[in-house]
Amino acid sequence: MSEHHVPASLHHEVIIAGFGGQGVLTLGSTLAEAAVLDGREVVWTPAYGAEMRGGPAFCTVIVSSAPIGSPVVATADTAIVMDRLSLPKYQRQVRPDGALLVNSSLVDTAEIAVAARWYAIRANHLAEALGDARTANMVMLGAFLALTRLVRAAAVVDALRHILPARRHHLIPLNEAALAAGARALTAPAA
């Protein structure tokens, strides 16, 4: 993943949706922490169903170069959809000029019906090829970073050092590989 220059003035709203156990909230908190490390204003709002593992999970992240007036994301610049059941609801919340990233390992792209650009990332397949299916969330984050250039990849790695307990730091190289796999998987929009 190449480093990049993020414009001084920005405001980007993201919805991340899937089911408990997919690392949806971890994806959002990692993005939020990386944005803070990059000197941005951030709001991260997690939500999940009554049964965390297996139940619906989603979060929103707002990254801005200016103070954020409201934590509510009604329509997103980007939606990251990790599973088929989340697609109908969250694809409708993407702005027409926005982007939809779907985990095409679990989402049938024939069900995508949005005006926004959309990208199919085989996140589960790529994560399994790396040796750990649990890194599918980092594959999707890598694709998101390649698409938006919202934060630096190095900031994400630093964020992982803050978020993961020391006993899990041995997983950082695997997560870096997943980020890179996601960035490589991002291709031209399918629509």
CATH of the domain at 83: 3.40.920.10
Question: For residue 55, is it within any domain?
Answer: yes
Question: What domain range includes position 138?
Answer: 11-183
Closest CA to 15 of 106, 84, 81: 81
DSSP secondary-structure letter at 120?
Answer: E
Question: For residue 20, is it within any domain?
Answer: yes
Structural domain tally of the chain? 1
Question: For residue 191, is it within any domain?
Answer: no
Kindly state the tokens that stand for 38: 């990059």
Regarding pTM above 0.85, the answer is: yes
DSSP secondary-structure letter at 98?
Answer: E
Question: For residue 5, is it within any domain?
Answer: no
Question: For residue 77, is it within any domain?
Answer: yes
User: 6 pLDDT band (50/70/90 cuts)?
Assistant: very low
Biggest CA–CA distance in the chain, Å, is 44
Q: What pLDDT, on a 0 to 100 scale, did the predictor assign at position 82? A: 97
Q: What pLDDT, on a 0 to 100 scale, did the predictor assign at position 129? A: 97
pLDDT in tens, 55-90: 889 999 999 999 999 999 999 999 999 999 999 999
Kindly state the tokens that stand for 9: 């003035």
Question: For residue 106, is it within any domain?
Answer: yes
